[in-house]
Amino acid sequence: MTIVKGFLWLLAAFDVGYGLFALLAPERAAGGVGLQLADAGAHGEIRAIYGGMMLAMGVVTAGALVWNRPDWLLALGLVWCGLVLGRVVSVIADGPARLTLVIGAVEAISAVTMILYGRTGQT
């Protein structure tokens, strides 16, 4: 197994784990990034984005590796780019918070890895 493939498996496992965590304990997931949930709508947002989306991204990443679908990785790489874009806008509009920079760096590495690995046509 290559280092890149190992990283992708690690990313898949983290995404699945964190997604399940956010689905089941949205208050704790939100608290981990400094958010407080005011109502049912806020709980729904954390469950949807932090929970459902991250879980799905992890499952699709694992599926791409198992079923040799680099095109799935390429598509997911573009999703990660969207997350990076949000971090960049936040740094410009809100200032460079440590959490934003650290998570943004991981998201950028994930995006680049998936796009480059996805373009090779093999997993």
> What pLDDT, in 10s, does the model give residues 18-66?
999 999 999 999 999 999 999 999 999 999 999 999 999 999 999 999 9
Q: Mean pLDDT over residues 68-77, rounded?
A: 96
35 conformational bin, left if phi > 0, alpha if psi -120 to 50, beta if neither? beta
Name the DSSP letter for residue 57.
Answer: H
CB 110 within 8 A of CB 64: no
Q: How confident is the model at residue 110 (pLDDT cuts 50, 70, 90)?
A: very high
Mean residue pLDDT across the chain: 95
Residue corresponding to tokens 């932090």: 50
Question: What's the predicted TM-score (pTM) here?
Answer: 0.92
Q: Could you identify the residue written with the tokens 């608290």? A: 31
Identify the CA nearest to 111 among candidates 82, 80, 86, 71. Answer: 80
In angstroms, how far is CA 111 from the centroid of its own chain?
9
Kindly indicate the confidence band of residue 1, based on its pLDDT and cuts at 50, 70 and 90: low
Angstrom distance (rounded) from CA 84 to CA 16: 19
Q: What percent of the chain has pLDDT over 70?
A: 98
